Structures are given as C-alpha cells and as structure tokens.
Structure 1
Amino acid sequence: MKLSDAKCRNIKPTEKIQKLTDGAGLYLEVKPSGAKKWRYRYRIAGKETIFTIGDYPTISLSEARVKRQEATELVKEGKHPTTIRQSRKVKNEWESVNTFQALAHEWIEKNKSKWSENYKRQIEINLRRYVFPSIGKLPIKSVESAHILVIVQKIEKQGVDKRKGKKGSPSIALLVKQWCGAIFRYAVVTLRAEYDPAAPIQGAITRPRVRHHPHLEGPELSGFMRALNAYEERGMRQTIIALRLLLLTFVRNGELRLAIWDEFDLENAIWRIPGERMKMREPHVVPLSKQAMQLLRELKTFTGPFGFIFPNRSTANTAMSNTTINRAIEYMGYKARITSHGFRGTASTVLHEHEWPHEIIERQLAHAERNSVVKAYNHAQHLSKRREMMQWWADYLDEIESKVLEVD
C-alpha cells in the first residue's frame, strides 16, 4: 500500500528502525531518534544497493517519488545514483570556483608582466565596469556567444561616459571582446572551457576608423622650430629640453618623462630604457646624438645625478606631469596640429623620405616585429646604423633651425 503525506507526517519513532514502503523500491526510514530519511533500494548486476534520497519533510512524498523515478532511469542505464550525485556535486563545486571572473583574474595575473601598468589598469577597469556584472559569477563553461554579443553591443551603443556626451564606444567594445576571447582561450588551454564563445561574433562590431596622432610633415618643421625658439624666451628651461629631446629621440612621452639618470650612459652616448616602461615590454636602446648629449649634460646641472631626469616641481619623488609637454605645444600655437607622440610620426615620415632603411627606422621607433624570424634577426638592434641615423636626424633639425634663425 502506497504511503500518504499524513502517514509520513504522523508516524512516531520506536526503539527500532521502521521502514514504510511506498513501492518500486522507495521507502521512508524512521529512526529511533525521530529522523526520517527517504531511501531507494535497487539492483545492478544482481547486487542490491541503497541510495539515500534525502530527509523528510525537507523532501516531500511527491518530490521523493520524482527523485525515485530519476534514479530508476539511471539504474536502467547501469549507473549508480550515488555516483552520479557525487559527480554532480564535484562539478557544481568546480563550476563555483571556475567562474568567468575568477579565470579573468587568473589570466591577468599570468600576463601582467607583459603589459604596462596603464594597460593592465585599462583591462581591469573595463572588465569590472562592463563584463563582470553580467557574466562574472557564471561558470565559465556556461557563458555563451549571446552573452558576449549583448555586452559588446551595449558598450557600442551606450559609450563610456554619458556625462561627457559620448554616444558610443566601438573601440572599447572591440577591446572588451578581444580580452574576453583571450580569457576563454586561456580557459581552454587550462582545460576549464571547451571553446571560445567570443570567436563567433567576429564582425559584430564595426571597427572604427583609426585616428593617428597629429604630426608635422617635413616642410612644417621650420615653422615649429621658429615657434620653439620663441617659446624659449618664456618657457621653463626643463620643459624646453624635454621638447627638444622628444624631437631628437622620438621616444614616447612616458618613456622620456619617467626616465631616470641611471638609464643614461653619457660616456658612450647610450640611453637604455627598461622593458617595463616600453609599450611592447622589451628593453629599448636609444643612441644619443651630440645634440641630445649636450642637452642632457645641461639638464644634469638642474636635476642630476639621481632620480628622475624630469622631476615634478610640485610633488616630491614623482616625474613631470604627462600633460606638461602637450601644454607647452599648445602655448606655442600648435594645439591639434601635433602632440608629443606626433614627433614619432614626423621623424618616421622624414627619415623614410630620405631613404633611410625601413627596418632601421622601425627598430628605433621600438615597433614590434610580427615575423618571428625577422624579430630574431633584428635582435642585434642595428645599433651602429641607428646611431648614424640619429645623428643625421639631429643635424637635419639643426640645419632647419639655422635657416629659420638666419631669416629672423
């Protein structure tokens, strides 16, 4: 006779264990302590086994019958319900640990040595802002392409900051998709995901037109040198030296601002920039022209011989502000016509026009070589040829400036 809820609820414990049968292997076990448990008796390969379904009344009679039926289906397939439940428990525990957010943090930790601090911070901020609220707590295996598509489309439409009037940010959307893809690929190679769900949505976001840093063409240099000479009458000498060194070395703004005196070998006219300050995270060597050396020796009388070559005048133990040089360019009347980064484009254009070898120019610009064979070959850095080119570039600028001064 089948059980009823009333009978299960009202049965009193005795000194011995009682078993109330419901049929098809299901019974309610009542212990002397009063505890009641649902159990299911079954056979596989002629061997009888007991599967504990759970406690009553936490699991009601109707729920116990459903779970009994599920267990019966497993038994028909030759599977032990206890083994399956243990496997599911392990899987659930594994998934609760291997969430998208957990894998993202692990991926960042593994790769951060290859990135600049600014790039690492950019990744963390955008993942925290756009991705983690949607899929951060999901097991990484359960994240689908549709999740990623919704996230990147939302970024594309909403933009980064509504208060600043931005209507959309396809550039950030593409970066977020790229980072998500890298996290999934990391999960795949560490056997915690089976595929990259970001891959199928390739092309879903329209790639924005690349906007290069404003830079001057060769013929415009004479006007800039005239403005620079005029600015020297009212500008801070250290800022003027920074401007001239950027023009002479065409390194990036941050590579110059954050330079310290220990990086300079003035005896051999070499500046060695450590990899952690370079965009591609590889050390870079800058041969110094005679003109650059003269400026550095002058600068050393102001700020040397220890610490930053361009210390911040207002805040101790910090470098010159990242806006100082661009602000000076604005004062010279060149706002929107060139930025501190634009000196690189100007130098590259002029050097190519004067038929200096492309690989020498690219090496001096510290651009990454994608071809691994060529990269290995270029490891020698072509230092003697680059030294010759840098001196030519400095003399070329001197010649332009001399002509400007003659006219004035």
Structure 2
Amino acid sequence: MARKPVTQDREIPSLILQGEASITRYAVKSPHGGGLAIEVRAGKSKRFVYRYRIAGTQATVVLGNYPALSLARARLEHAELAALVKKGIDPRKHVASEKAKNETALTMDELLGRWLDAQRVAEVVKPKTLQCHQERWNRHLKKTLGNIRLIDLTRAHLAQALEITRRATKDETRKGLGTLNQMLDYAVVHCLIEANPARLLRPKDFGASAGSPRERWLTVPELRRLWKGIDEDLGSGGSLAAGGRGVSRHATISLPAANAIKLLILTGCRRGEVANMRFSHIRDDMWTIPDTKNGRPHSVFLSRQAKALIDEQALYVNGDFVFESDRPKSDVIEPILVDSITRALRRFISRSLSDMEPFTVHDLRRSAATNWAERLDAEERVIELCLNHLPLNKLVRTYHRSRHDDKKKMLWQRWGELVELEVANDPQKNDSNGNVIEFIRKVK
C-alpha cells in the first residue's frame, strides 16, 4: 500500500522505519513539484532530500536535517533547486559551490586585516592613520561586527554597531562609518561582495554629523588658572621635588601628563607630537618632529621654559621618549598614550576647573596661536608656520620656509617669556608698583 505524502510538520515526528530497512523514505508534498522527501534513518536524525533526474540520470541532494531544517524551509529550498534542474543545472554542483563559499567566507574582522594589509603595501595612507582605523575597530566596532561573515552582513548589522558606538562617542561614530565604508569598498573592488551596505548610511542618521569648527581658546588669565592649578595639584606630595616619582597619591594628574600639557601650551604643537617626543629628536634648542600630520618634518624652537620641562622629564624616564608610559604593554619602553593626556586633562578640569568654560587638549593649540596674535601681535603667516600649516600655493610655501625661521624662533622665545611672567606666575606680583605688565613685542 502506497504511503501518503507528508503534508504538515506535525506528521514528521511520528514517521518510523519500515520493516528492517536502515532507511525509509517518505514523499513530501510541495507546491513546487515532486522529488522532495524526508528520510528516516536508523540511529540518525531524519533528513530532507531532493530526488531529481538530469541528463538521463537519477540523483539525490541532501537539503538538511530535521528539525534544524523545518518543512517550510525545506519546501523553499526545494523550489530553488527544482528551478535549477529546469535550467539544466545540477543542484549538487550548486550546493557544493555554496558550501565552499560559506567555508571560505571572510568575517568582518578578517576583512579589516586584509584591507589594512593592502593599505600598508600600497603606502598611500600614513601608518598612524591605519593604526587609528585598527584602534577604532577594536574599541567600538569589533565586538558587534567582528564575527559576522561578510556574505551575511546587512545594513542592520552596521546600523546596530554605529548606534552602540554613538552612545559612547559622537566623533568616533562618524569616523567609524568612514572606516566601514573604506573596508567595504575594498571588498566590492575585490569581488568579495556585490555592493557596500554602508553607503546608504549617513552620520546624521545617528546624530553624529560633524559640528561647527570649535572656536574655544583660553585667555592668558585662563591659562594661568590651568597652569597654577596643575602646580598646586602636583604639590600634594608626589612630585620629584618632594622626593616622589612624579605621581601623588592625592593628585589628579601625573607629572608626565602635567608637563605634556604645559609643553602643549608653550609650543602650540599637537598632542600626538608631544606624546611621541624623543630626546634624540632634540638638538640644543631645536626639536625636529619627523612625522607630522601633513607628512613633512617640522622644526620647533624650544624656549628656555620648554627646555626646563624636558630637563625635568629626563630625571623621570629611562629611554628615548620624553614622556614615557608607566603602563607599557611589554618590556619595550613606550611613549605615553595620546589619549592619556586627554583623559588627564578632562579629569583635572572636572575636579579643579569645573567653573570654567569647557575646553579640550586641542583648544590649547588654538589658545597658543590666538595669544600669539592677540598678545604678541605676530603676523598670520608666521603663526601658520609655527603651527606647521602649509599654504596651498607651492611658491608661497617655499618662500615661507626660507624666509621666516628667525621670526618663528623669536615668536616661540617671546611666548615662553610671556608664559613665565603671566601664566606660570601672577603678573601683578612681578611689578613692585602693583601694575600689570603689558607684554607685547611685535613679531613680523
């Protein structure tokens, strides 16, 4: 007696082996034609199969085990394979190809590694930029996206990762989207995916649009509050002068971070440049920064006040880095982390300067530049050179480099003197008559 085809999922658990056979096959009714069946096997799980004839030969392809593969899903897969047979394509080759594709599919973490390796070989992007991509991935995106296979990636996955990142940081959400777009564009070019699912996502979708350029800068009195506050914080018992190792149990800020912040004020340099400062890059009163944001070496004149900070650091470190990390990841001496300067300043502001208008580490660079103009009446082109900003015009750029070294040196020197008189000290205490000293010498 012929067995009735299986029509509902609830019928499958009651299917049994017939007689002494090791396999009993039951036909499954499908709207997509015949050939779909479920096999009951001795000592094994039931499984769906598709039996078909192609090129005059009978063949069978396994769809999957029940109940991991449901009846509804088996019918959908049956439809796909039956359509292939109608086109003269053997489903076994298709299934083998899909299996190979799945086994070799890159995860998002593997894609990032391949993309970064390609960028390093091309040598178009600076190593520091590639490091930022890696750190951003590790810190904000890897946990959510790292193990997702590229072929399974959807826009929803990306949106979820960016939403999570936005809860912590707006700026890194915008930059994270940039990282994702670049690595996924690489995947498209190398035929790993058909389209980049990140291209339709925009920073504003996550409230992470770039804000207006910051205009915050600290006046000399504000810089004095910061400088004096740092000195008072360090004076609580852990400074070198007090016989400590530069870190007080009661201080908010460590000596290396404090001196780095002061050097930022004195030089107007970027935090990364100061954090990676080396003694081997200093010759007398000239500091040469080999790796800068614009890719060109930058020479900075070190005022007497800046040199004093560096000399103090020399008592505290063991290697070539002026600002040495006290928490290296290995036995190798490493510089202080760039972000540690930012965190140190943020903690200090929160504890000691909470009544001041908020400011960031980069605002110290803007503060130096603005005070060079406001207090020292320096010309714009000299300030731009001290900041290592390159003019767009190449002829002007060459002229700047060749004609203004003395003016740059004078500007840093005079700024160091002003900082000593009015930032590190109270100017009203420097004048025996009680008058505020007006400190201006035009630098042109």
TM category, shorter:
0.5 to 0.7
Secondary structure, aligned partner of 2:321: coil
Q: Which residue does the alignment assign to 1:389?
A: 408
Aligned partner (choices 261, 265, 272) of residue 247 of structure 1: 265
Higher helix content, 1 or 2: 1
Residue in structure 2 matching 1:350, options 348, 371, 376: 371
Q: Residue type of the partner of 2:410?
A: Q
Per-residue CA deviation, residues 38-71 of structure 1 (Å, 9 max, x unaligned), is 8956354xxx3443324999899x99x9688765
Give the gaps of 5 or more residues in structure 1: 14-19, 29-36, 161-168
- Indicate which of 214, 217, 220 corresponds to 1:215: 217
CA deviation after TM superposition for structure 1 residue 344, in Å: 0.9
Deviations 1:96-154 (A, max 9, x none): x322233234345556833386774343121134x23xxx4433233232333344345
- 1:139 and 2:149 aligned: yes
How many Å separate the matches in 1 of 2:289 and 2:137? 24
| 1:78 aligns to 2:88 (yes or no) | yes
Mapping of 1:11-50 within 5 angstroms?
40=51, 42-44=53-55, 48-50=56-58
1:204-283 to 2 correspondence within 5 Å?
Answer: 204-206=205-207, 207=209, 209=211, 212=214, 215-217=217-219, 220=220, 224=224, 245-266=263-284, 269-275=285-291, 280=293, 282=295
- The letter of the residue matching 2:224 is F
Give 1:159-178 correspondences, 5 Å limit.
159-160=167-168, 169-178=169-178
Indicate conservation of the 8 Å contact 2:108/2:147, yes or no. Answer: yes
Asked whether the equivalents of residues 52 and 59 of structure 2 are also in contact (C-alpha less than 8 Å), the reply is: yes
Identity across the alignment (%): 18
Compute the RMSD of aligned alpha carbons.
5.6
Quick one: distance in 2 between partners of 1:56 and 1:116?
A: 43
Determine if contact 1:141/1:194 at 8 Å carries over to the other structure.
Answer: no
1:263 CA displacement: 1.4
Correspondence for 2:186: 186
Aligned position for 1:164: none
Gap runs ≥5 in structure 2: 6-14, 28-32, 39-47, 121-126, 247-254, 435-444
Contact 2:229 2:352 in 1 (8 A): no
Conservation of the 8 A alpha-carbon contact between 1:145 and 1:198: yes
C-alpha separation in 1, matches of 2:85 and 2:414: 87
Quickly say closer, same or farther: Cα 1:154–1:120, change in 2 above 3 A: closer
- Is 1:148 aligned to residue 158 of structure 2? yes
CA deviation string 1:239-266 (max 9, x = no partner): 6876654333222345334422111122
One-letter amino acid matched to 2:135? R
Once the two structures are superposed, residues 9-38 of structure 1 have per-residue CA deviations (whole angstroms, 9 ceiling, x without a partner) of 44769xxxxxx9x9989999xxxxxxxx98
CA shift, 1:341, in A, is 4.1
